[in-house]
């Protein structure tokens, strides 16, 4: 199967960017004191990048020349014998026999050779160095590209597909804006690192993932505190009835008036009346810390919705 990464590497035609990419690869692999010699052009005395491998000094030859052997010899001839390591970066494949020949020529001058040819770079860029691949080759990870497409479609056409999820918290089910919840459920189908790697909007999506999880946990904690508390304030003696009071109380805490709640539909049962539901809300609303926590919860949800709306312009 054709590798987009290989194709992009083979077509690379900017020497200075190739040198910058080589420096980033060395940094990501843990080499120290990585220092490009002439990243903007100019004489480099046959060394494109200097670095250290522990206590051992290293120098890098970076080339887009297809005749790697001759170019390597030209650069090697510029240096007297010394102890150290040479890293060779190129965008063509080097055969095992050629690697052996180049390594022997390096050893003859006291150097050890590390070869980063096209296939080794492809392997690194397709696995642990995807951010480097995206920066220099402009290629998205397949998983990140699919997630970006799904997230973008949800943001642009939120009503195009029906919402079949049933969130665990009552407050989630009663909120009008379902997009924050639907985005969270979408992101949860992917690995966290895939979310982060979505081009341009990845950090914002990851922040939504983290923040909405906190919102859901806080909502569930408040719900679990309120249900038995409501049970001690009413004559209904079973949890299903307490849940009806809970829905009414949360709708009132969201800012809806009693009349607005009644107008949204009769969800009462078990001889529960609107007046008694309002009584329970009135008693609970006198609890300042509780009111503040619920208000903060609704405020967080609004911020989550606003942040997602802002992402539409960043697609």
Write out the two tokens for 219: 């909502």
- Look at residue 96 in the predicted model and tell me its pLDDT: 95
Amino acid 233: pLDDT: 95
Q: What is the DSSP string of 59-80?
A: EEEEE--S-HHHHHHHHHHTS-
Q: What integer is the mean pLDDT of 25-52?
A: 84
- CA–CA distance, 264 with 294 (Å, rounded to integer): 21
Could you tell me what percent of the chain has a pLDDT over 90? Answer: 72
Using CA atoms in the order 129, 133, 139, 144, what is the torsion angle rounded to 10 degrees? 20
Pick the range with the lowest mean pLDDT from 86-100, 130-144, 183-197.
130-144
Q: Which domains does the chain have, with CATH numbers?
A: 4-139 (3.40.1350.10), 143-314 (no CATH)
Q: What are residue 60's DSSP bridge partners?
A: 49, 87
């Amino acid at each position: 199967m054709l590798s987009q990464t290989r194709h992009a590497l083979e077509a690379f035609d900017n020497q200075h960017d190739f040198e910058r990419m080589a420096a980033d690869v060395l940094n990501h692999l843990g080499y120290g004191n990585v220092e490009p010699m002439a990243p903007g052009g100019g004489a480099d005395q046959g060394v494109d990048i200097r670095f250290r491998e522990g206590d051992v000094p290293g120098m890098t030859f970076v080339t887009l020349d297809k005749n790697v052997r001759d170019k390597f010899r030209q650069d090697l001839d510029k240096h007297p014998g010394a102890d150290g390591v040479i890293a060779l970066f190129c965008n063509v494949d080097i055969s095992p026999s050629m690697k052996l020949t180049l390594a022997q020529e390096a050893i003859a001058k006291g150097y050890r050779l590390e070869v980063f040819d096209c296939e080794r770079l492809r392997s690194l860029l397709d696995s642990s160095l995807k951010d480097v691949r995206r920066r220099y080759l402009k290629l998205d990870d397949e998983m990140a590209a699919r997630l970006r497409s799904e997230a973008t479609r949800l943001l642009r056409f939120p009503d195009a597909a029906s919402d079949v999820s049933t969130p665990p918290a009552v407050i989630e089910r009663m909120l009008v804006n379902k997009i924050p919840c639907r985005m969270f459920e979408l992101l949860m189908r992917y690995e966290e690192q895939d979310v982060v790697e979505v081009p341009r909007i990845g950090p914002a999506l990851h922040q939504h993932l983290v923040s909405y999880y906190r919102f859901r946990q806080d909502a569930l904690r408040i719900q679990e505190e309120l249900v038995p508390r409501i049970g001690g304030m009413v004559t209904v003696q079973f949890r299903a009835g307490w849940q009806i009071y809970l829905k009414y109380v949360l709708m009132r805490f969201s800012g809806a008036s009693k009349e607005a709640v009644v107008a949204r539909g009769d969800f009462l049962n078990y001889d529960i009346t609107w007046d008694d539901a309002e009584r329970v809300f009135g008693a609970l609303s006198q609890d300042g810390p509780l009111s503040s926590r619920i208000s903060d919860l609704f405020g967080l949800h609004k911020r989550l919705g606003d942040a997602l709306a802002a992402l539409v312009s960043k697609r």
